[in-house]
A and B are shown apart, each in its own frame.
Chain A
């Protein structure tokens, strides 16, 4: 397919019609000259008429071709051509996969070092006329010349962010969409199978990947800390191992300042560790493996809340609330007491559910207002709806509910929603439930998540705390409404409750409401990074139509070769020259002959 560097110049092809127009115009009105010896002219031209016609058509063709070839040459035509040294000015997006798996050691150096070397080789083939972009795991296209992008490569390190290759290829296609030069996408990656995702490359796609197989790897995929908060007596954790190694590996877990605990585990299984008790508070739990070739997944962190169980006085007339409370009490997750009132509005912290009798709703709203609560119950709604999945409650069916109406500043304090409308809200020490915890109102009391929900509701939410969150580096995490700041170690970010927070790195990020710590987000690498198994070339070609795969060593030789588009300006100019000379020769030679 022939492409053009300056396609707008092709508008000049209209000039190719000039010889034809001149010919037609000239034919239209030649001046008349009286000439008695016309018979001599007639006999003269009769002999040459046939040749003259052929000559005229040939001259017309040559002149039209001359203009057309000059215009096309000015438009900078290029065509795919193999074996052409150098290349025409091109636009190239270089995607370098510095996701965590690129930190895998291979041959004494991380794979990323090999990717960077290959990237430098590709950039070395670039010319000043090329447009170059570099895209790394942060998925930000950075434009620059070869030297500038080389400096970026100098500073490139293994990113904690995962790179979805399909998304990056689509992004590169968008970058090239506005570019008039022939484009090409070069992806330098370890071609981790889990990183592949479908994409429609909008430009020739060249993949550079290592040819040596990846090392076996074991990583920590998940830490399960059970129901929180923990008591001061300690707790049990379950460490899930992922990867593609077959052997057993020792797993250690450090909790606070206590000595680490260790156990052996295998990929695909989980290791249960009992951790010693610590004083009440927020604690960081760190699990680790012995170092292997891929260090990034050898350590995983989590946040643990240690606090005494809540002392609850529950409404015994509400059957499901009473049953749940008794189960929690029998398991030691709550104690009878007056710290929290469950079911009815009372002094101190209260979890309030709407009354069965609508006639009592007015009195409840007035009592709430008297407590200074800025939320109230609206009119009963019996429309079928579902809760929006979240950290507090999963997806549950709701058939009866009182819409919760805020008299304050909008949605502050919303903990769970139904079809986007507040369903569980908190204002100060009062939590309002939009539906009664009864199967006639919602499926939640009969679901498996009911007991964990009640545990969290009483031990954490009613105490003003938020749900514990999980995240991966770079991916935005939604923040609870009451959060005003996020802190990691000495670093603190001011945030707006209800907004999003993008953790820059792995670690535990504590959520602050004023001076109180109300929750935490445990940020760890995506466990899919631990599977280092590479995709086959066939899989890559299946997902990315027309992709060419090369070793990292050879990829530079093929770069710009898809765009190994030969510059057609030279041949066209030669053609124009030949057409011009032929025209001159034909015209003058013919005149001489005539």
Chain B
């Protein structure tokens, strides 16, 4: 992005969503995100030269081809075969609970937020020549896109994302098992979900992936209204998936609920850490850039 223009990756996601279609704003977000990095998020460069490409802000200076700079006064970086070896698989929860927002006027639904986040993440990866695939699921696997590193593949991925709507219940285990078939070598698995699912089954599947040598990143998508309980004086709260309902006075229960959410998040974080899984809680009012930075930074540097 040119200087003087706002960086979309740091704007409010709802505001960003108003600026254009999924492709356009995703590119804008990624441009902003990459311009803010001092170096590329992933190394992945090897000694086996593959091709040149235009320097992008964030690329490490050691890969700049100084000869070309000397001849043409242009910045190119050298790319190597190893760069494309990373295979990433994004597993996207499209259950009905993901289509919810506590405040439609101010916050994107979790599903819409996740679509944009996944699109941006995929673009970042593909631009790094990382093959990126997508699996969507609700109570069953709904779509599978094998990992590819071409930019045209990203556009296909956008089409799949755009077609996603809130589905039924949530069953992550089949989708995560499906990943095993798609990633035969070690790769990166990004699990995007509100985690309103069977925790033990999901963890079991994630552990299995980890056991296969995959790097696993869990993005726990939460609506701000799910973090801080609000609502009318007294209400019947109903789960859109299971139809389970409970009648409470939110004002009376806000504190206890906050503690429960905190405990759940803490439980997920501990369980993931125990198995070397990177866990990141994401609320849908968080700018995409912040999430991308946290998600794509090596685990040792993540919060």
Contacts and interface: CB of A to CB of B under 8 A. Distances in A.
Interface string A65-78: 00000000000000
A48 to B, nearest CB: 6
Interface string B210-253: 00000000000001011001011011111111101111100111
A37 B253 contact: no
A36 B196 contact: yes
A38 B246 CA distance: 7
B237 A33 contact: yes
B226 A41 contact: no
Contacts of B128: none
A448 to B, nearest CB: 98
Contacts of A593: 255
Nearest to A37: B226
B197 to A, nearest CB: 10
Nearest to B239: A38
A115 to B, nearest CB: 69
A50 interface: no
Contacts of B256: 44-45, 47-48, 594
A590 B242 CA distance: 30
B241 A32 contact: no
Given A41-B257, A594-B255, A36 B241 contact: yes
B288 to A, nearest CB: 22
B238 A34 contact: yes
B261 interface: yes
B255 A40 contact: no
Given A41-B257, A591-B251, A591-B252, A36 B235 contact: no
Contact of B248 (A31, A41, A47): A41
A558 B244 CA distance: 71
> Which size bracket describes the interface of B in this complex?
35 or more
Contacts of B100: 34-36
A42 B234 contact: no
Given A32-B235, A36-B97, A36-B194, A594 B244 contact: no
B260 interface: yes
A43 interface: yes
Nearest to A55: B252
Contact of A38 (B102, B245, B254): B245
Contacts of A494: none
A515 interface: no
B264 interface: yes
A37 B196 contact: yes
A211 B148 CA distance: 123
Q: Which of A26, A30, A31 has the most CB of B within 10 A?
A: A30
A44 to B, nearest CB: 4
A33 B252 contact: no
Chain B facing A: main interface SS:
mixed
Chain A at the B interface: SS class? helix
A41 B239 CA distance: 10
Contact of B260 (A27, A35, A43): A43
A44 B229 CA distance: 12
A268 B70 CA distance: 162
A40 B261 contact: yes
B248 A39 contact: no
Tell me which of B194, B238, B256, B257 has the highest count of chain A C-beta atoms within 10 A of its own C-beta.
B256
Interface in B149-184: none
Contacts of B245: 32, 38
A592 interface: yes
A592 B255 contact: yes
Contacts of A36: 96-97, 100, 194, 196, 223, 226, 239-241
Contacts of B255: 591-594
B236 A32 contact: yes
A30 B238 CA distance: 12
A32 B213 CA distance: 45
A221 to B, nearest CB: 89
B232 A44 contact: no
B261 to A, nearest CB: 6
A588 to B, nearest CB: 10
Given A36-B97, A591-B251, A31 B246 contact: no
Interface in A72-107: none
Contacts of A31: 232, 235-236
Contact of A40 (B242, B247, B264): B264
A45 B246 contact: yes
A594 B236 CA distance: 18
B229 to A, nearest CB: 8
B231 A39 contact: no
A286 to B, nearest CB: 96
B235 A39 contact: no
B237 A594 contact: no
A42 B255 CA distance: 14
Contacts of A34: 100, 238-240
Interface in B81-108: 96-97, 100, 102
A594 B234 contact: no
A39 B226 CA distance: 11
Given A591-B252, A594-B256, A42 B246 contact: yes
A517 B163 CA distance: 132
Nearest to B235: A33
B244 A45 contact: no
B253 A30 contact: no
Given A34-B240, A36-B194, A40-B264, A45 B235 contact: no
B154 to A, nearest CB: 30
B240 A26 contact: no
Contacts of A591: 251-252, 255
Nearest to B95: A36
A594 B253 contact: yes
A39 B196 contact: yes
Interface string B255-284: 111011100100000000000000000000
13 contacts: A26-B234, A30-B247, A32-B236, A32-B245, A35-B231, A38-B245, A40-B260, A40-B264, A41-B260, A44-B257, A591-B251, A591-B252, A594-B252
Given A30-B235, A38-B246, A45-B253, 19 more contacts: A31-B235, A32-B237, A32-B238, A33-B231, A34-B100, A35-B226, A35-B231, A35-B238, A37-B196, A37-B226, A37-B261, A41-B246, A43-B260, A44-B256, A44-B260, A45-B248, A47-B256, A591-B255, A594-B252
Across the A-B interface, the 10 shortest Cβ-Cβ residue pairs: A36-B97, A38-B239, A35-B237, A44-B260, A37-B226, A33-B235, A32-B236, A594-B256, A44-B256, A30-B234
